[in-house]
């Protein structure tokens, strides 16, 4: 009784607070305040505002399909700026497989507008509801609310039913726009036991649990429900932040995972496993462990043609990896399991991540290499929470080999990456090494340094008021990969790249040095262009790096809450040679400077020799992951670097 009273008082205060602000939390009711507000007091830049987002999850019995999970949702959004109109386009994905399917029912939506002092309601017409096929098993219901404009208030409600309740839909309390109030109510039944995983928050503004008294009958079953309520208020917009793993890791949300089934007749079935048990399940699976074994057998036919006998173990790994990359293509689909049978993969020479990397694992094992699959979660999918051993959190697989005690991680999906460089999408803290009855975690951190070097020779042409530039770009590691993916064997692609990224119009041909068979080598390309010369009648003002140096600070936030994940250690180098034209001399040159602090190092060297100014500059990150407390120092350091790189050389007539 005391607990109920406390909750009642809390809710009374909670609701009164919103009443004072004149927001209505009642579906179908809008207030004058909601209709006339032009900005949100807590975020003047907000394009739109979620007034409320309320969900209810509960089970109902179906005579044909057993228990069905119902997910009801009601949402109200205020459109504050023209850019916020996009939030009136609603997309609801749902799943279909065989005889089981999800359904979306009772879609209702209304747009409210104030016109000439009148409240005008426009109700959603069914012709504005569309359906789109996303994949073979996923459909998307698309809803375009009518008559939406700046100042509109929209409401939408629907019910989604699903027979798939091992993983309930995640409830996101937070969005890209501010949220005034978000609440989820979940009614548990005694047969399904869930654990909930909160992300992006360590507490709820509202939490309650209570036993409901009403008996519910389904067939021969008689049971009661337990009701849980989770609520949050005044959530700020989740701003897109650079250098994070995934917004999924930081948006305030709630995830339910089925941990146990209690059968009415007695007995239980565990769904919350352990990581060793998950490894064993993978190894027994036809599309994982058995697929690797079949690939290992296939390797006996394939490997003799690769002439591995006189190669070191590392050279053997490289040769086998290159064979897979050169002969099989990735279809763009993720997945820890092989999507198609090995026999079909060998015929089609195309498959998903699981097909390629489990096949690679099998071939390496066939060669006697210590190789194992590593199941992981991609950056976009979020960090693995090791205290919750659910296979669902893993959506990708790569290969680990160990040679002379050193681990290498390989992904066969990217033919333009060096064999032991993982795609950026895979660099996400840790992955699960799949071994029998084992829990072993591999650190998915890229330790090699990538660098980008730009070399520029500048010839000043005062009479033409221009600078003739010859430049060479050199990329190593991931920077070489970026250039290779821009190039793709066509010089015109690099012409377009330079125009898009540096606003450079290339003159003449581009000279490319790219060794396709040695991806650990740098990628070079050279080109010529002209740029405008700033001048007065007797002075020339020269940008030493001809607009190729960094000019935009990547660290723009005023406050950083999250750690800074650079993914890999990187360095940028610049070298400029400026030929002093006849009849001119140096009036001003930038000074030598070094920045060396806990986060970054920058060196700027300059000298004048043989009527030529030579400037060498470069900066490098000291880590690939920084704490949030390092952010301001990174930001200030880069502001100083940009200022230095933009300093001019001034020449004056003799």
- In angstroms, how far is the first alpha carbon of the chain from the final one? 94
- What is the overall mean pLDDT for the chain? 90
Contacts of 372 (CB under 8 A, 6+ apart): 361, 399, 400, 433, 434, 435
Average pLDDT over residues 65-71: 90
Is the same domain home to 591 and 552?
yes
Residue 26 included in any domain: no
Tell which of 380, 412, 443 closes a domain. 443
Is the same domain home to 203 and 282?
no
pLDDT value for 422: 94
Is the same domain home to 321 and 265?
no
pLDDT value for 21: 61
pLDDT value for 563: 84
Is the same domain home to 281 and 418?
yes
User: Model confidence at 276, in pLDDT bands (50, 70, 90)?
Assistant: very high
Asked if residue 20 has pLDDT above 80, the reply is no
Average pLDDT over residues 625-636: 92
Asked if residue 65 has pLDDT above 70, the reply is yes
Is the same domain home to 381 and 401?
yes
User: Model confidence at 403, in pLDDT bands (50, 70, 90)?
Assistant: very high
Asked if residue 431 has pLDDT above 90, the reply is yes
Is the same domain home to 502 and 524?
yes
Is the same domain home to 371 and 241?
no
What is the CATH number for 435?
Answer: 3.10.620.30
Domain that holds residue 173: 32-270
Per DSSP bridges, beta strands 253-262 and 192-199 are antiparallel
Average pLDDT over residues 527-547: 91
Residue 14 included in any domain: no
Residue 144 included in any domain: yes
Tell which of 249, 270, 291 closes a domain. 270
Alpha carbons 583 and 653: distance in angstroms, whole number? 6
What is the CATH number for 639?
Answer: 2.60.120.1130
Count up the domains in the chain and report the number: 3
Tell which of 246, 270, 294 closes a domain. 270
Alpha carbons 622 and 193: distance in angstroms, whole number? 47
Asked if residue 135 has pLDDT above 90, the reply is no
What is the CATH number for 141?
Answer: 2.60.40.3140
User: Model confidence at 189, in pLDDT bands (50, 70, 90)?
Assistant: very high
Residue 8 included in any domain: no
Is the same domain home to 260 and 385?
no
Is the same domain home to 460 and 412?
no
The closest of 310, 233, 220 to 263, measured between CA atoms, is 220
Structure tokens at 27: 């579906």
pLDDT value for 9: 27
Q: Which of 50-54, 120-124, 564-568 has the lowest mean pLDDT?
A: 564-568
Alpha carbons 418 and 364: distance in angstroms, whole number? 17
Asked if residue 328 has pLDDT above 80, the reply is yes
pLDDT value for 520: 84
Is the same domain home to 436 and 490?
no
Residue 265 included in any domain: yes
pTM of the full predicted structure? Answer: 0.81
Write the pLDDT tens digit of every residue in 591-607: 999 999 999 999 999 99
Is the same domain home to 259 and 211?
yes
Higher pLDDT, 137 or 309: 309
Is the same domain home to 341 and 394?
yes
Residue 17 included in any domain: no
């Amino acid at each position: 009784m005391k607990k109920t009273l406390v909750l009642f008082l809390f809710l009374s205060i909670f609701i009164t607070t919103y009443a004072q602000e004149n927001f209505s939390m009642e579906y179908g009711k809008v207030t004058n305040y909601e209709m006339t507000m032009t900005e949100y007091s807590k975020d003047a830049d907000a394009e739109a505002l979620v007034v409320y987002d309320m969900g209810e999850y509960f089970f109902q019995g179906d005579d044909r399909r057993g228990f069905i999970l119902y997910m009801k949702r009601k949402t109200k959004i205020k459109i504050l700026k023209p850019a916020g109109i996009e939030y009136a386009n609603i997309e609801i994905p749902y799943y279909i497989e065989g005889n089981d399917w999800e359904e979306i029912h009772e879609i209702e939506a209304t747009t409210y507008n104030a016109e000439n002092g009148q409240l005008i309601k426009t109700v959603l017409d069914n012709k504005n509801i569309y359906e789109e096929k996303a994949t073979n098993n996923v459909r998307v219901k698309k809803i375009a609310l009518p008559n939406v404009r700046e100042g509109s208030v929209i409401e939408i409600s629907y019910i989604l039913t699903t027979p798939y309740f091992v993983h309930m839909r995640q409830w996101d309390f937070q969005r890209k726009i501010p949220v005034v109030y978000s609440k989820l109510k979940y009614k548990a039944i005694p047969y399904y036991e869930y654990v909930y995983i909160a992300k992006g928050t360590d507490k709820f503004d509202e939490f309650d649990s209570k036993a409901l008294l009403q008996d519910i009958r389904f067939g021969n079953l008689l049971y009661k429900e337990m009701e849980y309520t989770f609520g949050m208020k005044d959530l700020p917009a989740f701003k897109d932040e650079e250098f994070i793993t995934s917004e999924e890791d930081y948006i305030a949300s709630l995830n339910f995972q089925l941990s146990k089934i209690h059968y009415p007749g007695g007995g239980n079935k565990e769904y919350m496993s352990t990581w060793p048990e998950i490894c064993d399940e993978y190894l027994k699976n036809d599309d994982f462990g058995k697929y690797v074994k079949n690939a290992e057998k296939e390797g006996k036919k394939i490997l003799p043609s690769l002439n591995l006998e006189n190669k070191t173990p590392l050279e053997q790994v490289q040769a086998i990896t290159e064979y897979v990359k050169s002969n099989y293509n990735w279809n763009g689909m993720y997945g820890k399991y092989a999507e198609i049978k090995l026999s079909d993969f060998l015929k089609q020479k195309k498959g998903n991540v699981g097909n390629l990397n489990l096949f690679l694992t099998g071939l390496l094992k066939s060669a006697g290499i210590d190789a194992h699959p590593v199941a992981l979660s991609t950056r976009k999918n979020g960090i693995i929470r090791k205290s919750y051993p659910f296979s669902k959190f893993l959506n990708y697989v790569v290969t680990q080999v160990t040679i002379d005690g050193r681990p290498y991680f390989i992904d066969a999906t990217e033919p333009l990456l060096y064999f032991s460089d993982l795609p950026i999408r895979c660099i996400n803290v840790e992955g699960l090494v799949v071994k029998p009855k084992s829990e072993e975690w591999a650190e998915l951190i890229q330790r090699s340094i990538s660098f980008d070097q730009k070399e520029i020779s500048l010839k000043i042409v005062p009479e033409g008021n221009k600078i003739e530039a010859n430049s060479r770009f050199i990329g190593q590691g991931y920077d070489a990969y970026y250039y290779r993916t821009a190039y793709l064997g066509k010089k015109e692609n690099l012409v377009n790249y330079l125009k898009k990224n540096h606003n450079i119009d290339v003159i003449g041909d581009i000279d490319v040095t790219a060794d396709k068979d040695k991806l650990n080598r740098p990628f070079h390309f050279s080109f010529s262009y002209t740029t405008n010369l700033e001048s007065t009648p007797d002075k020339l003002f020269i940008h030493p790096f001809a607009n190729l140096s960094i000019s935009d600070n990547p660290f723009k936030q005023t406050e950083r809450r999250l750690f800074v994940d650079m993914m890999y250690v990187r360095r940028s180098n610049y070298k400029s040679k400026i030929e002093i034209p006849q009849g001119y001399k140096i009036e001003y040159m930038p000074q030598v400077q070094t920045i060396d602090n806990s986060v970054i190092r920058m060196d700027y060297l300059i000298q004048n020799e043989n009527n030529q100014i030579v400037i060498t500059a470069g900066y490098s990150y000291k880590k690939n992951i920084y704490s949030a407390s390092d952010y301001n120092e990174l930001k200030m350091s880069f502001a100083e670097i940009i200022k230095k790189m933009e300093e001019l050389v001034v020449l004056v007539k003799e």
